[in-house]
Amino acid sequence: MKKFFSLMAILILVTIKIPVAVAESSGAIIDEQEFRNYLVEIFESDIYSDYGFNTDDVDQMSFGDPIAIYDLNPSFAFGEDEDMLQNRVEEWIAIVYENDKAINGLKLRENNSGELEISGFGYPLTLARAVEQLDQNELLFYEFPTGYYYAFNQQNDTVRLLEEEVISIYSDEQTENLSEEEFQKKLEERYDNVEKGDETISGFGGTEQVQEKQSILLYSSLGFGVVLFSSLLFFLWKRKHA
């Protein structure tokens, strides 16, 4: 858990151009050597094991095709829109493998030339494995205030929560195969409580233990001391401009 929390507070702003076809989430051409050079720089200053790796030998690492990470539509979360995801994709993840085992991921963003470039490194330590196992009909998406990642199955319109660490918190709750309607209802309840004055975003459950763990996950995932209430304000702003 310590490694999981320390990982999430790290954000890297160095950018390297990677020629990738933005419209594609698989089969894109990537420069693996550029990725390796980037990781060499990371591991010179950071501890590789904090990212889940067993070695800093980048020659033992390979990379997956970029996968789009959609953002949850704030208006959907407040029950004001039927579209669950925002149309514009602002981040892609390229899974980093160590000896063919999914370990972590590089953050990619689109530049003004329509190419993807590295914008950072490091996700929750269980996310890469979950992303690797996504069904071909599933889209990866992100809920900003909590820092949680989900998979949306376009074929049967169901949602499931990703990340083993997070799912363990809600072991007594349904965390997968939620219909869009069920998922929206949970989100409405979550943010309705916040708007009424409860600044704790209470995920799927509402116990003090769940809320405490969830707050820790939030602070860790956003890094740099960003607090929960600031996250909510930004989410509300995105809701108004969605």
Whether the predicted pLDDT of 138 surpasses 90: yes
Greater pLDDT, 115 or 166: 115
Whether the predicted pLDDT of 26 surpasses 60: no
Q: What's the pLDDT score for residue 167?
A: 80
Q: What's the pLDDT score for residue 175?
A: 81
First and final C-alpha spacing in the chain: 35
Average pLDDT over residues 41-57: 96
**Bridge pairing between strands 158-161 and 101-110:** unpaired
Token pair, residue 209, equals 């233990």
Q: Report whether 127 contacts 115 (CB < 8 A).
A: no
Query: Rounded to whole angstroms, what are the CA distances from 22 to 13, 112, 119, 145?
Result: 20, 12, 15, 26
**Bridge pairing between strands 138-143 and 116-121:** unpaired
Whether the predicted pLDDT of 20 surpasses 70: no
Tens-digit pLDDT profile for residues 184-238: 999 988 887 666 655 555 555 433 444 444 443 333 333 333 434 455 555 555 5
Nearest residue to 221 (alpha-carbon basis) of 134, 127, 139: 127
Write b or e for each residue in 107-126: b if 16 or more Cβ atoms lie within 10 A of its Cβ, otherwise e.
bbebeeeeebbbbbbbbbbb
